[in-house]
A and B are shown apart, each in its own frame.
Chain A
């Protein structure tokens, strides 16, 4: 089943199992069922609790905040992740603050879903991956959808905890089939799960055991899907073996799986689709360089998109956004590099 459908079933199951769950967003009601059809059928099944809203992202986030303060479990859809700018105040000054500033007398477990990312020709304001601007907001979890994480488990975790969450869903994942590791494999790669206590699992993928890998690649979302292709291709065609780590949660980061992998491979490449600089990758690089200074054999490579607007033209867009070629180049460079100290 494709990811969009899996997510739809997940939301349906959440609504069925928990009367506190409310879904809000623009154009989410039937028959339209959401810009990406993730909510199709839900407003018919749960007319009170699945509500289409005016084009008012701030109100969507703010009303969700009130619902959450009153004991409900709102799940808000922001139609394009680009519009997360319009909910920034609600997230930073309200949703993420309430529990701490009220000394644990209230909780505000809002889940904001944001279809994000480019490679679809939607141009400068409908293609961005803006999650980096939310990383490091105190008390906010930022989680990325991927094909190796079952959304049922991810949403079960959201509903079991009281933290607010930003859940970014790369649009190009919607038509893809989930590939959640099963029996130690995902596709042709070995697959394991690793997690620090209480954290969503990071999925570790490689053609050969970690001990035989020369680098670690850390990637999330759609970029993790591209990275998996690169890892597989380099293994099969050139016997360059690297391990791909796919975290679900970007912030706060679960460092334990990263440390365990890089501690063995000694090299790290991070991959993200957001604009380069002041990013997830640079934070990872800073942290890993400090924690694993002795184990690193070369500097951390950070792969990100060009820091400019995302053009509409296919050719121009592909020169700006990270694709397989940039990932492959960075992995090759990392695998070949050793700084002698």
Chain B
């Protein structure tokens, strides 16, 4: 059964790639888009690449917020400013056949996974050429090896089901799901953890604890221990309080490889911080709390490993590349 299970999937499609319908790249504004200025120059050091990828996500999010203020975007958006290191660190260890399920705050995860800035921007701008033709918008994104949905908790069993598919195929694919501290309030999470542990599914839960669920702080939302919620099911938790992409990359690597090696589900619990508002201009958090976190943000922390000249070069390259993406996408119908 396992050996025949790949025949119906087709050779090229990843774990949960398109089963039907048009080729997603066929409708992309720039088919197969990949810009080295955003995702990494051949031969450059890991330190530079990681910085570049975080800068890319930061600049994309800042650009989106500016476009919102300009009035050219419809709906809403949830920026991940301050959390870029998590996405970049985890994606370092994934292969094309792995699958990522993300949530409402998915831009960083998507960009780190695919590099597809024009597809995402066109999507958020509601253009036909968007990665989901303008239907999904900011929170509902699909690309080979990547999906997101905007309902807390509900994505976790879907990721577990994708993990079960990998297990049934006898493949060593990993299914990763990104949740937040707010998701810990959803009961379906715990139903799924129980099943994932019982069936030893190749599922990595990355919990980004950014201290605030929309407007409600962890202290008001959460009784008991975060890690204890997972260990209660016998699921190992690696807890890390860091915005350092190098530390995070090492932690994520160990977790991804353990899951890939058949260790069953695992959790990477990252204590981090969201520097921007929840969606758009809805921030009542204490200004001094936010101010205290800016010196700890990932670009500052990791940026110290680079020279001023290196940072400036990468910053300039990313700025130009994102500006070109904006110009390209603006011109699309």
Residues of chain A touching chain B, judged by Cβ–Cβ distance below 8 Å, are 19-20, 22, 48-49, 51, 53-54, 56, 58-59, 61-72, 74, 89-90, 93-94, 97-107, 162
In the complex, per-residue mask of B120-162: 1 if CB is within 8 Å of any chain A CB, else 0? 0000000000001101100010110001010100111111111
Judge if B164 is at the interface, Cβ distance under 8 Å: yes
Q: How large is the interface on B (under 10, 10 to 19, 20 to 34, 35 or more residues)?
A: 35 or more
Stretch at the interface among B109-117, B192-200, B271-279, B300-308: B192-200
B192 touches A101 (CB 8 A): no
* Residues A102 and B132 in contact, CB atoms below 8 Å apart: yes
Stretch at the interface among B1-9, B44-52, B234-242: B1-9
| B225 in the interface (beta carbon within 8 A) | no
Among residues of B, the one whose C-beta sits closest to the C-beta of A53 is B195
Q: Which residues of A contact B157 (CB under 8 A)?
A: 58-59, 61-63, 65-66, 90
A-side contacts of B155, CB under 8 Å: 94
| B19: Cβ under 8 A from any A Cβ | yes
Taking a contact as CB atoms under 8 Å apart, the answer to whether B16 and A69 are in contact is yes
**Can you give 12 A-B contacts (C-beta < 8 A)?**
A53-B195, A59-B191, A59-B192, A62-B154, A65-B157, A65-B161, A66-B165, A70-B162, A71-B8, A97-B149, A104-B20, A107-B20
Closest residue of B by beta carbon distance from A110: B161
| Chain B neighbourhood of A162, CB < 8 A | 19-20
Known: A19-B1, A94-B154. A68 touches B20 (CB 8 A): no
B residues within 8 Å of A by Cβ? 1, 4-5, 8-9, 13, 15-16, 18-22, 24, 27, 99, 132-133, 135-136, 140, 142-143, 147, 149, 151, 154-166, 168, 175, 187-188, 191-192, 194-195, 198-199
Q: Which chain A residues border B159 with CB–CB below 8 Å?
A: 66
Which of B133, B166, B195 is in CB contact (< 8 Å) with A56? B195
Q: Are B164 and A19 in contact (CB under 8 A)?
A: no
Q: Which of A56, A102, A104 is the one whose CB lies under 8 Å from B191?
A: A56
Which residues from B are CB-within-8-Å of A48?
Answer: 1, 168
Q: How far is the CA of A221 from the CA of B149 in the complex (A)?
A: 35
CB pair A20–B8 under 8 Å, yes or no, is yes
Which of chain A's residues have a CB closer than 8 A to the CB of B142? 98, 101-103, 105-106
**How far apart sit A15 and B187, CA to CA, in the bound complex (Å)?**
31
In contact, B133 and A19 (Cβ under 8 angstroms): no
Q: Which of chain B's residues have a CB closer than 8 A to the CB of A107? A: 19-21
Residue A63 contacts which of B4, B5, B9, B195 (CB distance < 8 angstroms)? B195
Contact assessment for B151 and A89 in the assembled complex, using a CB-CB cutoff below 8 Å: yes
Q: Which residue of A lies closest to B158 (CB)?
A: A66
Contacts known (A65-B161, A69-B162); A22 close to B135, Cβ less than 8 A: no
For residue A22, which residues in chain B have a CB less than 8 angstroms away from its CB?
164, 168
Q: When A and B form their complex, which 6 residue pairs have the shortest distance between CB atoms, in order from nearest?
A: A66-B161, A62-B157, A104-B21, A70-B165, A102-B142, A56-B191
CB of A103 within 8 A of CB of B5, answer: no
Whether B168 lies near A106 (C-beta < 8 A) is no
Q: Are A49 and B132 in touch, CB under 8 angstroms? A: no
Query: How far in angstroms is the closest Cβ of chain A from B282?
Result: 22
Nearest Cβ in chain B — how far from A228, in angstroms?
39
The reply to whether B165 and A72 form a contact with Cβ atoms under 8 Å apart is yes
Task: Decide if B161 touches A69 in the complex (CB within 8 Å).
Answer: yes
Residues of A within 8 A of B135 (CB): 100-103
What residue of chain B has the Cβ atom nearest to residue A51's Cβ?
A: B199
Nearest A residue (CB) for B13: A71
CB closest residue in chain A, given B141: A102
Contact: B195 with A66, CB < 8 Å?
A: no
**Cα separation A86 to B203 with both chains bound (whole Å):** 23
A20 vs B169: C-alpha distance when bound (angstroms): 10
Contact, CB under 8 Å: B19 / A106: yes
Known: A67-B161, A93-B151, A94-B149. A105 touches B194 (CB 8 A): no
B191 touches A101 (CB 8 A): no
Is B158 a contact of A19 with CB atoms below 8 Å?
Answer: no
Q: In the complex, A14 Cα to B70 Cα: how many Å?
A: 55
Closest to B24 in A: A105
Q: Which residue of B lies closest to A58 (CB)?
A: B188
Q: Which of B19, B143, B147, B163 has the most CB of A within 10 A?
A: B19
- Closest approach, in angstroms, between the C-beta of A223 and any C-beta of chain B? 33
* Contacts A54-B191, A89-B154, A107-B19; A66 near B162 (Cβ below 8 A): yes
Q: What B residues does A67 contact at CB under 8 A?
A: 161-162, 164-165
Complex Cα distance, B102 from A200, in Å, reads 37
**CB-based contact A103/B132 at 8 Å:** yes
Which A residues are CB-close (under 8 A) to B140?
97, 101-102
Select which of A19, A61, A62, A93 is within 8 A of B156 by beta carbon: A62
In the assembled complex, how far is the CB of residue A2 from the closest CB belonging to chain B, in whole angstroms? Answer: 30
Measured CB to CB, the closest approach of chain A to B1, in angstroms, equals 5
Give bound CA distance, A51 to B8, whole Å: 22
